[in-house]
Amino acid sequence: MKSFETKISSPRGDSRIIVGNGALARIGAIAATSVKGRRVCVVSDANVCNLHLQPVMEALAAAGFHAGQVSVPAGESSKSLNMVSTLWNTFNGYGITRTDLVVALGGGVVGDLAGFAAATYLRGVAIIQAPTSLLAQVDSSIGGKTGIDLPFGKNLAGAFHQPRAVITDPLVLKTLPKNRFAEGMAEVVKYGCISDAALFKEIEEFAESDRADEAALFKIIARCVGIKADVVNRDELDTGERMLLNFGHTVGHAIENVMGYGYISHGEAVAIGMVAATRLGEQTGTTPAGVSQRIAALLKKLSLPVETEFTVDDIFEAMMSDKKNLSGSINFILLEDIGRAVRIPFPPADLRARLDKIVGTRQE
């Protein structure tokens, strides 16, 4: 089996990250070396349960675990305090202790929710992330960020809680709907934009292909995972370099907030946000002319939007409440070129004056 492995080293514990076609079948053996206890609760959602739960439960049982499971509703609405409480009650019912394990089997919502519940139950229970969406495989499952949404913002309650392991199996993406695959590709494009011009070129070539090349997809996913792990190793708590991973997210999160979380995919919102951020960079002289057009062209080929139907007033108001705002400024990640990113704070009044020219509005 072709595989890639890396590690995040943290005072909160090391995180082993495995990428490999067929890697999910190894979850029992990996879990057995990750914790001393032999009780596990698998958290998933209704969609993923039908596709991947049974073999995971069988692998865990074969490794000597007493395995229980809980299914949460699919979608962003599950990232709520009520659902966290449901998971805590379930962990208690299964007798989960601090030597036992939680497994997050699903996309970004399941990973964020289960991760936060594990981080806060008994002041911290071990978790293994088994991401089944492209977005989760290349981004949200790695690095220990967990969180839930509050009525006034996305991921505003959360904790850093490194998973004992992240098991990424690109073959499970075969069951992913096309729109969900496209959503994940937005985060893939992000990595090329901020860190690796050669990766960006590979993504452009992938977008021109039939996208069925398992070897090419494995290589792209492994590179993204490696970039994310390297960044987290240098800045686990998101106080410096890790902020560069928010490229496209300042406008993206604002659009999600305006629409209501779950009504636009995270990847679609980030795609719009990346184009907006690059236009801002071109306008301020940080980014060479033409970069925004190249990124927009790639995103369109990947079936992702580059414009929004909302007014800049709506978006600006949502941006003002974002947790990325520091000391009265709104932070943007801009590109010095494809493959190189920089964080620049903008005074709100200055940014508002520029928004009309950087946020593309869809014409009816």
Same domain, 161 and 187: no
Residue 287 structural domain:
178-358
Q: Give the pLDDT of residue 311.
A: 76
CATH number of the domain that residue 322 is part of: 1.20.1090.10
Distance CA 37, CA 40 (A): 8
DSSP 49: I
Tell me which residue of 278, 223, 285 sits closest to 251, measured CA to CA.
Answer: 278
Distance CA 151, CA 305 (A): 26
Q: Give the pLDDT of residue 325.
A: 65
Q: What is the mean pLDDT of residues 257-282?
A: 90
Q: Answer whether 158's CB lies under 8 Å from 80's CB.
A: no
Q: Give the pLDDT of residue 364.
A: 41
Tens of pLDDT along 302-354? 999 999 877 788 889 888 877 566 667 898 999 999 999 999 999 999 999 99
On whether residue 364 sits in a domain, the answer given is: no
Same domain, 14 and 77: yes
Share of the chain above pLDDT 90, in %: 82
Same domain, 148 and 242: no
Q: Give the pLDDT of residue 276.
A: 94
Distance CA 33, CA 190 (A): 33
Tens of pLDDT along 132-167? 999 999 999 999 999 999 887 788 899 999 999 999
Q: pTM, whole model, 2 decimals?
A: 0.93
Give φ, ψ of 149 to 5 degrees: -90, 150
Tell the burial category of 252 from Cβ atoms under 10 Å away from its Cβ (0-12, 13-18, 19+): buried
Token look-up 């993204």 returns 224
| Cβ neighbours of 62 (radius 10 Å) | 12
Number of domains in the chain: 2
Same domain, 352 and 223: yes
Tens of pLDDT along 20-73? 999 999 999 999 999 999 999 999 999 999 999 999 999 999 999 999 999 999
Residue type, position 246, single letter = N
CATH number of the domain that residue 157 is part of: 3.40.50.1970
Domain final residue pick, 151, 175, 199 = 175
| Cβ neighbours of 105 (radius 10 Å) | 29
Tens of pLDDT along 70-116? 999 999 999 999 999 999 999 999 999 999 999 999 999 999 999 99
